[in-house]
């Protein structure tokens, strides 16, 4: 990491940085000529005119509902899917009080990525609020993190809806560095461009520049754009002053990334609901004040997928639709996967994302969206609602801000509820025969983080069947005990 003293003035620091990296980069460039590039069309679209300052953001809201369309609380059980350098409450406060697995909420706000495009080096102040939730992970580190009442409480177990609110990340001053500003004064323009690009790519913390789909390194896909470099410089007292962070633990130094990253959990309403009928059809309802666009309905079962793009849904409207058309070949086959990719890529670009940004988002989410078992509806959250849920403040303000948040509604269809009730009933019979717990059925384990709300829903649907209710409760206890056993006994 660059030492704090190396960047007293941003402009001076950039020139020093280029000179320091020059020799190593030139050697690397000659050794490997295949430097990653952005296509001319993508680069042109992502290069602001003189005097222009543009901000683009993408992210997702994930929720889960039963066949009645009512959203169910669930927990973000995956905690190790981010690089070690990303900050969370434990790393930022130095206090082991915030266990994300204990948080039950209706919505998970996942990977908002904020890109900046500028014609020159700029300094801006950036903060994002989350009035109806808490922000659980972020990078670069921030100067201020709220709500403080969670730290005062001592732990995050059994937080009420009233306590799970008031989130804020304040990065304070952020320096934006376009790649062109790192370009050395060389006669060989091609070499100068290569040096600037390699220097640009070497500053953010380590990671595979070409991560594989299944490695868990999907965070790094978001770097594959022409956005400016983001630099945050922190002195220890800038974080420690006026907060509960101990001075010894406060992050300090220079932090670089191609974007601002954050995510969290919360309880807030989104305009879309989907109810599943016993006959296999669905009632899709837009309860909001704005039309819903970019609707993509898909189902993944046993390695096969079917999907369809739906027409826009007007405000205060209910539409009946059938299930997507017949299942296609294996989801890893290029034809169906390519069709899904193209459909969603078109939706994202229609909302204003650059092509390379849409590619980065799809690379990040293709496994979760297109390969995970389940029935889901993807759609674009209306911009006014996005701004209400996540107020983003940038000062000085950019000339243009594009925010594309994709709503992901996971649905437990009526037919699937009945099938899983039989799975629970079978588990009860197995327990009666063996006189011991036989574990959680594989059909439920495949639901991952949604297994818990699914069992809650199944117990409600079969509320007149005491055996199913009792077995669902036993399986819930078993799931929870296994999860907390993996936490090395943390409360």
pLDDT at 3: 34
Q: How confident is the model at residue 7 (pLDDT cuts 50, 70, 90)?
A: very low
Q: How far apart are CA 185 and CA 109, in angstroms?
A: 44
255 with 231: CB under 8 angstroms? yes
Beta bridge partners of 233: 254
Give yes or no: residues 145 and 243 share one domain: yes
Query: Residue 233: pLDDT above 90?
Result: yes
pLDDT at 129: 98
pLDDT at 179: 87
Q: Which two tokens stand for residue 64?
A: 């889960």
Mode of pairing for the β-strands spanning 260-266 and 107-118: antiparallel
266 closest CA partner among 141, 79, 122, 104 = 104
Distant-in-sequence, close-in-space partners of 393: CB < 8 Å, separation ≥ 6:
125, 126, 127, 128, 129
Q: How many other C-beta atoms are found inside a 10 Å radius of the C-beta of residue 44? A: 11
pLDDT tens-place string over residues 88-112? 887 777 665 555 666 778 899 988 9
Give yes or no: residues 101 and 157 share one domain: yes
Query: Residue 149: pLDDT above 80?
Result: no
pLDDT at 256: 94
Q: Which two tokens stand for residue 254?
A: 């220079």
Residue 391 lies in a domain: no
Q: How confident is the model at residue 151 (pLDDT cuts 50, 70, 90)?
A: low
pLDDT at 18: 45
pLDDT at 435: 52
Give yes or no: residues 372 and 246 share one domain: no
The range of the structural domain enclosing residue 377 comes to 272-382+408-413
Give yes or no: residues 287 and 150 share one domain: no
Beta bridge partners of 124: 174
Distant-in-sequence, close-in-space partners of 487: CB < 8 Å, separation ≥ 6:
99, 101
Q: How confident is the model at residue 303 (pLDDT cuts 50, 70, 90)?
A: confident
Distant-in-sequence, close-in-space partners of 299: CB < 8 Å, separation ≥ 6:
305, 306, 307, 323, 324, 327, 374, 375, 376
Residue 157 lies in a domain: yes
pLDDT at 95: 60
Q: How confident is the model at residue 484 (pLDDT cuts 50, 70, 90)?
A: very low
pLDDT at 98: 57
Domain boundary among 232, 266, 300: 266
Query: Residue 331: pLDDT above 60?
Result: no
Query: Residue 29: pLDDT above 50?
Result: no
Residue 461 lies in a domain: yes
Residue 388 lies in a domain: no
Give yes or no: residues 34 and 155 share one domain: yes
Q: How far apart are CA 372 and CA 302, in angstroms?
A: 10
pLDDT at 460: 94
pLDDT tens-place string over residues 441-479? 988 988 888 999 999 999 999 999 999 999 999 999 888
DSSP H or E stretch at residue 201? helix 189-202
Q: How confident is the model at residue 488 (pLDDT cuts 50, 70, 90)?
A: very low
336 with 302: CB under 8 angstroms? no
Proportion of the chain in helix, strand, coil states, percent, rounded to 5: 35, 25, 35
Query: Residue 376: pLDDT above 80?
Result: yes
Q: Which whole number is the average pLDDT over 356-377?
A: 93
Q: What φ, ψ does residue 402 adopt, rounded to 5°?
A: -110, 125
Give yes or no: residues 462 and 324 share one domain: no
Q: How far apart are CA 13 and CA 17, in angstroms?
A: 6
Q: Which whole number is the average pLDDT over 274-280?
A: 94
Kindly report the average pLDDT of the chain as a whole number.
Answer: 81
Q: How confident is the model at residue 80 (pLDDT cuts 50, 70, 90)?
A: low
For 166: left if phi > 0, alpha if psi spans -120 to 50, otherwise beta; the answer is: left
Q: What φ, ψ does residue 488 adopt, rounded to 5°?
A: 60, 35
Between 391 and 77, the more confident residue is: 391
354 closest CA partner among 261, 227, 262, 259 = 227
For 69: left if phi > 0, alpha if psi spans -120 to 50, otherwise beta; the answer is: left
Give yes or no: residues 326 and 457 share one domain: no
201 with 28: CB under 8 angstroms? no
Give yes or no: residues 31 and 45 share one domain: yes
72 with 106: CB under 8 angstroms? yes
406 with 381: CB under 8 angstroms? yes
How far is CA 37 from each of CA 33, 55, 95, 194, rounded to the nearest angstrom?
11, 21, 42, 10
For 488: left if phi > 0, alpha if psi spans -120 to 50, otherwise beta; the answer is: left
Write down the residue that tokens 């950019």 correspond to: 398
Give yes or no: residues 58 and 179 share one domain: yes
pLDDT tens-place string over residues 199-225? 777 888 875 555 554 445 688 999 999
pLDDT tens-place string over residues 176-197? 999 888 888 888 888 888 888 8
State how many domains the chain has.
Answer: 3
Query: Residue 250: pLDDT above 90?
Result: no
pLDDT at 100: 61
Query: Residue 4: pLDDT above 50?
Result: no
pLDDT at 489: 34
Domain boundary among 248, 266, 284: 266
Residue 282 lies in a domain: yes
300 closest CA partner among 413, 216, 421, 219 = 413
Q: How confident is the model at residue 163 (pLDDT cuts 50, 70, 90)?
A: confident
Residue 313 lies in a domain: yes
Query: Residue 78: pLDDT above 60?
Result: no
Give yes or no: residues 298 and 342 share one domain: yes
306 with 325: CB under 8 angstroms? yes
Query: Residue 8: pLDDT above 50?
Result: no
Q: Is 322 exposed, middle or buried (0-12, 13-18, 19+ CB in 10 A)?
A: exposed
Domain boundary among 219, 251, 266: 266
Q: How far apart are CA 263 and CA 432, in angstroms?
A: 43
Q: Which whole number is the average pLDDT over 361-366?
A: 93
Give yes or no: residues 315 and 354 share one domain: yes
pLDDT at 490: 34
Residue 33 lies in a domain: yes
Residue 491 lies in a domain: no
Give yes or no: residues 183 and 330 share one domain: no
Q: Which two tokens stand for residue 490?
A: 């943390």
Q: How far apart are CA 418 and CA 423, in angstroms?
A: 9
Query: Residue 124: pLDDT above 90?
Result: yes
288 with 389: CB under 8 angstroms? no
Name the pTM for this structure. 0.84
């Amino acid at each position: 990491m660059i030492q704090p003293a190396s960047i007293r003035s941003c402009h001076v620091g950039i020139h020093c940085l280029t000179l320091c990296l020059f020799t190593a980069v030139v050697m690397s460039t000659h050794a490997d000529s295949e430097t990653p590039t952005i296509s001319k069309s993508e680069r042109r679209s992502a290069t602001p005119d003189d005097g222009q300052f543009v901000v683009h953001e993408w992210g997702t809201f994930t929720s889960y509902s039963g066949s009645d369309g009512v959203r169910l609380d669930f927990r973000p059980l995956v905690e190790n899917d981010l690089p070690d350098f990303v900050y969370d409450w434990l790393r930022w406060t130095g206090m082991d009080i915030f266990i994300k697995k204990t948080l039950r909420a209706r919505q998970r706000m996942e990977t908002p990525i904020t890109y900046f495009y500028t014609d020159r080096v700029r300094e801006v102040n950036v903060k994002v609020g989350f009035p109806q939730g808490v922000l659980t992970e972020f990078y670069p580190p921030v100067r201020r993190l709220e709500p403080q009442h969670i730290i005062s409480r001592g732990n995050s177990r059994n937080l009420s809806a009233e306590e799970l609110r008031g989130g804020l990340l304040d990065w304070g001053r952020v320096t934006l560095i376009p790649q062109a500003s790192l370009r050395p004064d060389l006669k060989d323009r091609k070499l100068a461009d290569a040096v600037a690009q390699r220097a640009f790519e070497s500053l953010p913390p380590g990671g595979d520049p070409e991560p594989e789909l299944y490695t868990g390194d999907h965070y790094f896909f978001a770097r594959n754009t022409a956005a400016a470099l983001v630099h945050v410089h922190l002195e220890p007292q800038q974080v420690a002053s006026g907060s509960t962070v101990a001075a010894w633990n406060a992050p300090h130094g220079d932090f670089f990334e191609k974007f601002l990253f954050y995510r969290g959990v919360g309880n807030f309403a989104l305009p879309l609901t989907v109810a599943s009928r016993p006959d296999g059809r669905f009632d899709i309802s837009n309860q909001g004040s704005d039309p819903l666009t970019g609707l993509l309905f898909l189902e993944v079962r046993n390695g096969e997928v079917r999907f369809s793009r739906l027409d826009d849904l007007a405000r205060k409207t209910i539409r009946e639709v059938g299930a997507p058309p017949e299942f296609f070949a294996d989801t890893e086959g290029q034809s169906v996967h390519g069709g899904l990719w193209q459909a969603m890529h078109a939706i994202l670009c229609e909302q204003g994302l650059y092509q390379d940004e849409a590619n980065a988002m799809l690379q990040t989410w293709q496994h979760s969206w297109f390969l995970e078992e389940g029935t889901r509806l993807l759609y674009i959250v209306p911009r006014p609602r996005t701004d209400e849920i996540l107020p983003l403040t940038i000062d000085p303000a950019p000339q243009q801000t594009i925010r594309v948040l994709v709503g992901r509604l996971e649905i437990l269809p009526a037919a699937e509820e009945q099938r899983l009730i039989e799975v629970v009933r079978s588990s009860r019979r197995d327990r009666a025969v063996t006189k011991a717990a036989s574990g959680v059925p594989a059909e439920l384990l495949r639901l991952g983080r949604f297994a818990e709300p699914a069992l809650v829903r199944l117990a409600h649907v079969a509320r007149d069947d005491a055996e199913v209710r009792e077995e669902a409760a036993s399986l819930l206890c078993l799931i929870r005990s296994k999860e907390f056993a993996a936490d090395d006994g943390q409360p």
